[in-house]
Amino acid sequence: MKTRIAIVEDDPNYRMGLAELLGADPSFVVEDTFPAATPLVERLEQPDSTPPWDLVIMDLGLPGLSGIDAIRRLKQRHATLPIVAFTVFEEPATILDAICAGADGYLLKRTPADELLTQLQAVVAGGSPLTPGVARIVLEVVRRHETGPGGRKPERQLGISGREREVLLLLAEGMIHKQVADQLGISLETVRTYVRRIYEKLQVRTVAQAVSRAIRERLI
């Protein structure tokens, strides 16, 4: 079954190009495109609304309602709807703001086409959408903020077990659940159980948020 996608992008040429790229891939079908976030958000804020898409690709530098605010509002009503931030912004604060708003991924517009398709497929499959470059930026900003006159902050376990930490590390490397299961020699259902426990303990809802908090708390 093809993944149904909505694209939110204000640049008409880029919006068309992205739609053509995804439409040419047999895994995807572009159901809707929007030049701004407001129409999509208002559509999904209607009573009893159900997302007609499996994935939303959201630009951040949008006219009117910003991409980050749109992600936050959408996640409040439809927490399980996968949303990927797709942008030129590489500033650490913007990346962290998008993740904290609920973004399930953060991909840069300079990402090569083949890698972009692979990353989007990984997001749909439940994998970590933080590319190595973005993950490094997150790690760098966290390290800058956790050092000070008293030195590094003490490590906090937050009840995370050794096996759960192993799962977190593999998710941070971009593995999907099945790859984690194969790597650790455990069943896919066991991996899903570990992920649910990790979400509960870290009080997060997405892989990106789990990885971000794990880095902040020096769990990985």
Return the higher-pLDDT residue of 204 and 37: 37
Return the higher-pLDDT residue of 180 and 206: 180
- Contact indicator for 211, 128 with CB cutoff of 8 Å: yes
Return the higher-pLDDT residue of 139 and 198: 198
Element (H, E) at 172: helix 162-172
Interacting residues of 137 by C-beta distance below 8 A, sequence separation 6+: 90, 92, 95
Same fold? 3-135, 146-216: no
Least confident segment among 3-7, 16-20, 171-175: 171-175
Percent of the chain's residues with pLDDT above 70: 83
Element (H, E) at 3: strand 3-8
- Contact indicator for 9, 33 with CB cutoff of 8 Å: yes
Residue 181 pLDDT > 80, yes or no? yes
Residue 171 pLDDT > 90, yes or no? no
Compute the mean pLDDT over every residue in the chain, rounded to the nearest whole number: 84
pLDDT given for residue 149 in this prediction: 45
- Contact indicator for 61, 13 with CB cutoff of 8 Å: no
Strand order in the sheet with 105-108: 28-34, 3-8, 55-58, 83-87, 105-108
Average pLDDT over residues 150-169: 72
Residue 186 pLDDT > 70, yes or no? yes
pLDDT given for residue 216 in this prediction: 67
Pick the CATH number of 3-135 from 3.40.50.2300, 3.40.50.2020, 3.40.50.720, 3.20.20.70: 3.40.50.2300
Per residue in 99-127, pLDDT tens? 878 888 888 888 889 888 988 887 787 66
Sign of the dihedral defined by the CA atoms of residues 154, 156, 162, 167, in that order:
negative
What residue type is assigned to position 9 of the chain?
Answer: E
Q: How confident is the model at residue 1 (pLDDT cuts 50, 70, 90)?
A: confident
- Contact indicator for 129, 117 with CB cutoff of 8 Å: no
Return the top range by mean pLDDT from 26-35, 100-109, 131-140: 26-35
CB-side neighbour CA atoms (13 Å) of 92: 12
Token pair 């995807």 in the structure block, residue: 28
pLDDT given for residue 35 in this prediction: 97
Q: Residue ranges per domain, the chain?
A: 3-135, 146-216
Q: How confident is the model at residue 148 (pLDDT cuts 50, 70, 90)?
A: very low
As a whole number of angstroms, the distance between CA 58 and CA 75 comes to 13
- The region, left, alpha or beta by phi > 0 then psi within -120 to 50, assigned to residue 45 is alpha
Residue 49 pLDDT > 80, yes or no? yes
Q: Indicate the fold that domain 146-216 takes in CATH.
A: Arc Repressor Mutant, subunit A (1.10.10)
DSSP code at position 102? T
- Contact indicator for 45, 77 with CB cutoff of 8 Å: yes
As a whole number of angstroms, the distance between CA 72 and CA 22 comes to 25
Sign of the dihedral defined by the CA atoms of residues 139, 205, 9, 66, in that order:
negative
